[in-house]
Amino acid sequence: MIWGLGEKLKELFRGKTDTAEFFDNLEDTLIEADVGAQAAIKITADLRDMAKKDGAKTKEDILGLLRRDLGEFVRFEPLAPDPAGLNVFLVLGVNGAGKTTTIAKLAQYYRGAGTDGIVLAAGDTFRAGAIEQLILHGKRLGVRVVSQDPGADPGAVIFDAIESAAARGEKLVLADTAGRLHNKENLVRELQKIDKVIRNKAGEKAVYRKILIIDAGTGQNGLAQAKVFHEAVGVDSLILTKFDGTARGGIVVAIARELGLPISFLGVGEKMSDLIPGGRDEYLDGLLGET
């Protein structure tokens, strides 16, 4: 299984590792992987200095330094429901990022880890077919889904889900949201409304977390997305999806540098089990690949 930069680095390491060309190519590779131009330039400059000072670096030296520098900003936030009470996880992200699939994966994962009483809230009432998609996941997983008709107020759907979960003593509400509305202002306003409903409803009684889904292949746009969502409602942690089969995914480094957001899980395929609870090491292993 090769994710991330592995293939590209492997190619680079076939040649000499002390030439100007090597460092230029390394810098380009890091930029292409979306770690951000500043980080790429800094890391490559560090390596150039080291090579100048004490001669050519081995592949292991270079990988070690890459790991250290890339990892400097990446933080892990384990995202585990509090078994003592109600938890509300609101799942955010642009359309197609993998929100709904990740919700289903999380439901399976948490159930496997012992969380009793998981409810899915069909808060994407905007996109045609979104409610059915979540209901289908719920059926397959044997998990309750709270939904209303298309076009319904997403805040009301999530409110119902929280209220019924509390009444039944269920432990975790995983709430889906729309990734796109008519325009960005609408999306932000809608998310702020949902956020307010959850805060009012869940109050101090529940653990409330906002999870942003970022598609590893979206490139630098992922940073712009993170800024919009973070400014709108305040994001608690990231899940990076589609980390399988891409030479990118460095965006987590860029988002961590700019916004300080931690990572909680990695999505590495379309199957329900393709979700890795993971932090820095798993992420860096994936990013640097089998070089």
**Interface with ligand GTP by CB under 6 A: which residues?**
93, 95-101, 124, 127, 130, 179, 241-242, 244, 267-270, 274
Instruction: Find the shortest distance in angstroms from Cβ 181 to ligand GTP.
Output: 11
Number of residue whose CB is nearest ligand GTP: 267
C-alpha pair distances (Å), 3 with each of 27, 83, 96, 179, 285: 19, 34, 20, 26, 9
Classify 213 as helix, strand or coil. Answer: strand
CB nearer to ligand GTP: give 40 or 161.
161
CB nearer to ligand GTP: give 101 or 218.
101
- Got the DSSP string for 220-270? THHHHHHHHHHHHH---EEEEE--BT-S--THHHHHHHHH---EEEEE-SS
C-alpha pair distances (Å), 290 with each of 4, 7, 185, 228, 241: 9, 8, 42, 34, 19
Which position among 17, 29, 100, 147 is part of the footprint of Mg ion (CB under 5 A)? 100
**Which of ligand GTP, Mg ion, none does 96 bind, CB closer than 5 to 8 A by kind?**
ligand GTP
Does the footprint of Mg ion cover residue 237 (CB under 5 A)?
A: no
Please choose, out of 84-92, 98-106, 249-257, 279-287, the segment that lies near Mg ion by the rule CB under 5 A. 98-106
Within 10 Å of residue 278's Cβ, how many Cβ atoms?
21
Instruction: Find the shortest distance in angstroms from Cβ 221 to ligand GTP.
Output: 14
Binding residues for Mg ion (CB under 5 A): 99-100
